[in-house]
Chain A
Amino acid sequence: MASDRITLTVPARGEYARTVRMTAAELASRIGMSFDEVDDVRMGAEEAFVYASERVGESANVTFTFTVSADALEVEVGPMPTPDEGAAAVSEGYAEFILRSVCDEFEIQHAPEGCTLCLCRRAAAPAGEPGA
């Protein structure tokens, strides 16, 4: 199947974490991810949201771009301001560590307009309906 692209922009406030989690979980379940994997995706989406919210500040928005293909969910979060050296090092290291654990691929892309988190989680095996 060709990949579909879904964009979600939410205010950078905690109350929207649920919206982000639900969207990510629904897209993950759409491609047949297991309960385990869906929960990882939710966790990853929330961590990425918190990470981005801290960078952009409460009055701004955070944009998620989901790319859904047959066996993978890619998520781009941002752009957001590139953090200062040092000041953000701790939460940086922490968030990266968590995101690396729940995703198959994780990187931070730097561009002039800011940095973007790129996450990818693949569905391990088509559960239930092989080849669906």
Chain B
Amino acid sequence: MWDKARTRELFVHYHEHGDEESRDELITMYLNLVKYLASRFRNRGEPIDDLIQVGTIGLIKAIDRFDIGREVEFTTYATPTIVGELKRYFRDKGWAIKVPRRLQELSFRVNQAVDALTQREQRSPSILEIAEYLEVTTEDVLEALETSEAYNFVSLETDRTSEGSDSFSILEYIGEDDQLMALVDDRTMLSEGLKHLAPLEQRVLYLRFFQGLTQTEIAAMLGISQMQVSRLLRRTLRLLREHITLEEV
């Protein structure tokens, strides 16, 4: 099912030469393992796609930490990491599940309304416009925005399919961007943090904070919804913050 020789080769490329494409290939290669493990949790009321996304995060962690020097199959090593991530997801979901279904649905409708109104008006709609469009109150819209926080898992699938072999790396822009240079200069943990972001995350981060594009512009450019851009940014900022916090400890 999995090509062991190729796996080994890819790990050498990735860990010893930092080749991101090898990492991506590993992720694609072992996605079946994630799907299989995720399917074991399918009767717990969560959409299988979400579970696959969560499992993929576990897979990526396993890929990043795996030591090929050890006499262990990668699948043996990765399985507990992926399952651990899924279990943690259900544990963390404790509070998220308490989000009333009404709000979950509203969050979904707000997402659609933002896209529809942006299309129609050719600009980002106001909260009031969204509320009127959906015939709800502005408080409902803001509440829905918060609810979307509970769904932090932006589709990694989008990441892979939308750009094909997107190998965007923010660090490649260091030479061209003084701001970026000033930020990562001498701050190795931050550059380390940036490396751990998926290409799509890096691209969104770069477009938003270095190119100064708005979320609406980024969404249009990448063909994803604005709320996805919002969630990607949030996730990205949290990841970077974690890296910084680690460094300071």
Chain A interface residues toward B at CB < 8 A:
18, 21-22, 25-26, 29, 32-39, 42-43, 47, 50, 87-88, 90-91, 93-94, 97-98, 101, 127-129
Does B215 interact with chain A (Cβ within 8 Å)? yes
> In the assembled complex, how far is the CB of residue A37 from the closest CB belonging to chain B, in whole angstroms?
7
Chain A binding surface, main DSSP class: helix
Chain A residue numbers with a CB within 8 Å of B216 are 35-36
Chain A residue numbers with a CB within 8 Å of B183 are 93-94, 97
Q: How many A-B residue pairs have CB under 8 A?
A: 90
Contact yes or no, A29 B233, CB < 8 A = no
Contact yes or no, B241 A50, CB < 8 A = yes
> In the assembled complex, how far is the CB of residue B109 from the closest CB belonging to chain A, in whole angstroms?
14
> In the assembled complex, how far is the CB of residue B248 from the closest CB belonging to chain A, in whole angstroms?
6
- Tally B residues with Cβ within 8 Å of A: 39
Residue in chain A with minimal CB distance to B128: A128
Chain B residue numbers with a CB within 8 Å of A21 are 146
> In the assembled complex, how far is the CB of residue B147 from the closest CB belonging to chain A, in whole angstroms?
11
Contact yes or no, B248 A101, CB < 8 A = no
Contact yes or no, A35 B114, CB < 8 A = yes
Does B247 interact with chain A (Cβ within 8 Å)? yes
A-contact 0/1 string along B216-249, CB 8 Å cutoff: 1000000000100010011001001100110110
> In the assembled complex, how far is the CB of residue B94 from the closest CB belonging to chain A, in whole angstroms?
14
Chain B residue numbers with a CB within 8 Å of A38 are 127, 142, 145
Contact of B226 among A36, A88, A98, A128 (CB under 8 A): A36
Does B64 interact with chain A (Cβ within 8 Å)? no
Contact yes or no, A90 B142, CB < 8 A = no
The complex places the Cα of A129 from the Cα of B124 at a distance, in Å, of 14
Chain A residue numbers with a CB within 8 Å of B234 are 43
